[in-house]
Amino acid sequence: METSLEPPSGPGSGISSPASSPATGSGIAAVASNSPVSDVRRFLLARGNSALADRIFSLLMLACAASIFCIVAFIASELISQSQMSWHASGLAFFYKFNVDPQTGLPLFWDPVNGVFYALPFLYGTLVSSLVALVIAVPLAVGVAIFLTEMCPRFLRGPLAFLTELLAAIPSVVYGLWAIFILVPLLREHINPILIDTFGAPLVVRLFGWTGLVGDNGLFGGVNLGLGLLTAGVILAIMILPIIASLTREVMSTVPHSQREAALALGATRWEMIRIAVLRNARIGIVGSIILGLGRALGETMAVAMVIGNTAEIHRSLLSTGHSMASVIANEFAEATSDLHRSALVEIGLALFVVTILVNGLARLLVWAVTRSNPVRVN
């Protein structure tokens, strides 16, 4: 029974080792002095009563933890098996091919009635709306993070952090509701006319016409509906702002104070200190948080589905309507007309799954690299 007592281990492993040893140790002492029992019974008392329960318990907890792997495997296998039909029908061409409409001569990507299923406009819509979101959200988020960590008076810090947290907790469908009734009219009446006038001004067209981004066929040409890729991008920006801001703040607060003090001691102004000491040291983590925001923007469904306009077309103008990968699934899946239609939608979902896994994995690795290891850099 002496052998059942384990040598004391380090503080880290002490938790994970079976705890039966001290318990049974005292139990044996009591048993041995009071009553004559057989060696077998003594052995059972020593090892049996809690060692088995501990084993079962730890295995049960392991099973719970391992269920996370199972979920990922299950999602992947279900998506792959359900998208087989579409994959066999068009293969990789699913993501870049299109038919030409015989009557209008325009490209035809997606026509459930006639069984045409190519996903290019959805990739385009997701990518463009997410990029618009990043262009708007990143400078604002980094600005907020700088303000909160470096400039903010102490009494404002708590409430502001709480407000950004609230922004993250609002459900997607409420953002969509707000966007339909407030943001869309606002953009249509006030913001879009300014953009159209600026980018359509004769001087701008003469100077930048060669880029193809200005004028009637440019980024801000065409019909001003209020709905469209730009609106989707704006609402996405509002939604991913708190994510990027809070992670950037976290990364910035891991920069050691000695770095800031060193910069200030060399005579830097506050902004120079932020640039040299904080942003330089935290840049990998900031990139990580931006990518994490991108991952969220790519998969955001409801708000986008409510304002993007839901047309499977590709236009250069950001004011034109479009469709994103998530929004087409949300709109059409429950009412899919044929098995091929449903299978094509699942294949879009599979693509979304793979892309978000890659993007999120990359972002997590970057954020971890900064917050886990010592972020101090000499150069």
Partner 1 sequence: MKAAIQQNRMRNALRAATDHLATGLAILATLLVVAPLFAIFGYLIYKGASSLNLAFFTQIPKPEGEVGGGMANAIVGSGVLLAIASCLGVPIGIGGGIYLAEFGRGTRLANAIRFTADVLNGVPSIVMGIAVYALIVFREKHFSAFSGGVALGIMMIPTVTRTTEEMLLMVPNSIREAALGLGVPNWRSVLSITLKTASPGVITGCMLAFARVAGETAPLLFTALGNQFWSVSLNQPIAALPLQIYIYAISPYDDQHRLAWAGALVLIALIVIAVSLVRYVASRGILKGAS
Alpha-helical regions (H) of the chain: 13-16, 20-34, 39-82, 84-90, 120-146, 154-169, 172-178, 184-186, 192-200, 202-208, 229-253, 257-265, 270-273, 280-299, 302-307, 325-332, 339-372
Q: With H, G, I as helix, E, B as strand and everything else as coil, classify residue 308.
A: coil
- Provide the terminal-to-terminal Cα distance of the chain, rounded to the nearest Å: 59
SS3 324: coil
Stretch that binds partner 1, among 31-39, 225-233, 248-256, 358-366 (CB under 8 A): 358-366
Contact assessment for residue 82 and residue 343, using Cβ atoms and an 8 Å cutoff: yes
Residue with tokens 């502001």: 160
Looking at 97-105, 191-199, 312-320, 326-334, which segment touches partner 1 (CB under 8 A)?
326-334
What secondary structure letter does DSSP report for 107? E
Say if residues 238 and 132 touch (Cβ distance below 8 Å). Answer: no
CB of residue 218 to partner 1, shortest distance in Å:
26
Angle at 323 between CA 326 and CA 189, to 5 degrees: 120
Could you identify the residue written with the tokens 């990364």? 251
Among positions 219, 282, 306, 308, the unique one binding partner 1 when judged by CB under 8 A: 306
Residue whose CB is less far from partner 1, 37 or 279: 279
| Residue 232 or 274 having the CB closest to partner 1 | 274
User: Smallest gap, in angstroms, from Cβ of residue 141 to partner 1?
Assistant: 8
Residue 5 within binding range of partner 1, rule CB under 8 A: no
| Contact flag: residue 191 with partner 1 (CB under 8 A) | no
Interacting span for partner 1 (CB under 8 A) from 19-27, 35-43, 95-103, 109-117: 19-27
Q: Please, which residue, 184 or 214, has the CB nearer to partner 1?
A: 184
Determine, following the binding rule CB under 8 A, whether residue 366 of this chain makes contact with partner 1. Answer: no
- Report the nearest approach of partner 1 to the CB of residue 269 (Å): 4
CA distance linking residue 78 with residue 272, whole number of Å? 52
- Residues 250, 371: contact at Cβ < 8 Å? yes
Packing angle of the helix pair 229-253, 339-372 (nearest 10 deg): 30
CB of 38 to partner 1, least distance (A): 23
Size of the site for partner 1 (CB under 8 A): 102
Amino acid identity for residue 142 in this structure: V
Supply the minimum distance, in Å, between the C-beta of residue 368 and partner 1.
8
Residue (97 or 364) nearer to partner 1, CB: 364
Please tell me whether residue 378 binds partner 1 under the rule CB under 8 A: no
| CB of 367 vs partner 1, minimal distance in Å | 9
For residues 20 and 317, which CB has a smaller minimum distance to partner 1 in the complex?
20
Report 96-155 residues binding partner 1 (CB under 8 A): 139-144, 146-148, 151
Footprint of partner 1 on residues 49-68 (CB under 8 A)? 49-50, 53-54, 56-58, 60-68
> Measured from the CB of residue 374, what is the shortest distance to partner 1 in angstroms?
18
Q: Among the candidate windows 105-113, 213-221, 254-262, 292-300, which touches partner 1 by CB under 8 A? A: 292-300
Binding to partner 1 (CB under 8 A): which residues in 207-246? 238, 241-242, 245
Q: Is 48 in the site for partner 1 (CB under 8 A)?
A: no
Distance CA 204, CA 98 (A): 34
Show contacts with partner 1 in window 25-44 (CB under 8 A): 26-27
User: Which C-beta is closer to partner 1: that of 57 or that of 96?
Assistant: 57
Which of positions 328-357 make contact with partner 1 (CB under 8 A)?
Answer: 329-330, 333-334, 345-346, 349, 352-353, 356-357
Whole-angstrom distance, CA of residue 240 vs CA of residue 229: 16
Within 10 angstroms of residue 156's Cβ, the number of other Cβ atoms is 12
Residue 35 half-sphere exposure toward CB, CA atoms < 13 A:
7
